[in-house]
Amino acid sequence: MRIIDLHPDNQEIIGQTAALLVDAFQEHWPAAWPTLESALEDVRESLEPGRISRVAIGDDGTVLGWVAAIPEYDGNAWELHPMVVHPGYQGQGIGRALVADLEARVREQGGITLYLGTDDEDNMTSLSNTDLYPDVWRHLSNVKNLRGHPYEFYQKLGFAIVGVIPDANGPGKPDIIMAKRVGIVLHDTRPNNG
């Protein structure tokens, strides 16, 4: 496997990447990319100047996974969107390799934080089908993974849950917000009063 930039002139790879989005998200997030055309639109948007778009390619030329990022907050924080691994190749370290590669690219661009939203539209966590108001933080601190939601994958890579947008995808369907520092480490410059 190798991880390379996704180039606008490689229509074969672009097509495979779009098809992968539709197929991989169909079960739990069918509204994300319901058609090949909607997936192609997002893949092409990832190729806009200033963005990062990387694909994992197998020895036979098959797209095994894709990750992309969008600069936000004057380039200090980048949104990881999206990340997908071919269902037949999950659990083999491809997602981990893609995220590590993306972190390196974000650092090269001067980014400090990488963040993402990971929706729960299919009752995969204890945050779904629940009224998270008014005590959102209590619900967040007690979050449970009920059916293989990807937030635990990101936790294993060092991401922390930093928030949630209740009802982001409709009533009882939240978006879990996660982030990780990938750039410079700040030192506390406040005076030590101890």
pLDDT at 8: 94
Please give the Cα distance from 49 to 60 (Å, whole number). 29
pLDDT of residue 189: 62
- Which of 79, 73, 75 has the alpha carbon at shortest distance from 53? 79
CA distance 37 to 21: 11
Q: How confident is the model at residue 190 (pLDDT cuts 50, 70, 90)?
A: low
pLDDT greater than 90 at residue 29: no
Position 117 scores a pLDDT of 97
For the chain, what percent of residues have pLDDT higher than 90? 86
Q: Going from the N-terminus, what domains does the chain have, and what CATH number goes with each?
A: 1-94 (3.40.630.30), 112-194 (3.40.630.30)
Residue with tokens 């200090």: 76
pLDDT classification of 194: cutoffs 50, 70, 90: low
**pTM passes above 0.85:** yes
Place of tokens 């410059």: 189
- In this prediction, residue 7 has a pLDDT band, given cuts at 50, 70 and 90, of very high
Average pLDDT over residues 153-173: 96
Percent of the chain with pLDDT over 70: 95
Mean pLDDT rounded to a whole number for the chain: 93
Contact 86, 24 (CB under 8 A): yes
Work out whether strand 63-72 and strand 52-57 pair parallel, antiparallel, or are unpaired: antiparallel
> Of 36-40, 91-95, 103-107, 141-145, where does mean pLDDT reach its minimum?
36-40
pLDDT the model gives residue 20: 94
- How many angstroms separate the CA atoms of 158 and 182, rounded? 10
Tokens 């929706």 belong to which residue? 119
Residue 88 CA to residue 38 CA, distance in Å, equals 23
Give 84-124 pLDDT, tens digit per residue.
Answer: 999 999 999 999 999 999 999 999 999 999 999 999 998 99
| Cβ atoms of residues 151 and 161 within 8 Å | yes
Residue 99 confidence (pLDDT):
98
Query: Is residue 28 predicted with pLDDT exceeding 80?
Result: no
* Residue, of 189 and 4, whose pLDDT is higher: 4
Tokens read off for 137: 């933080």
Helices (H), the chain: 11-25, 36-45, 94-108, 136-141, 151-156
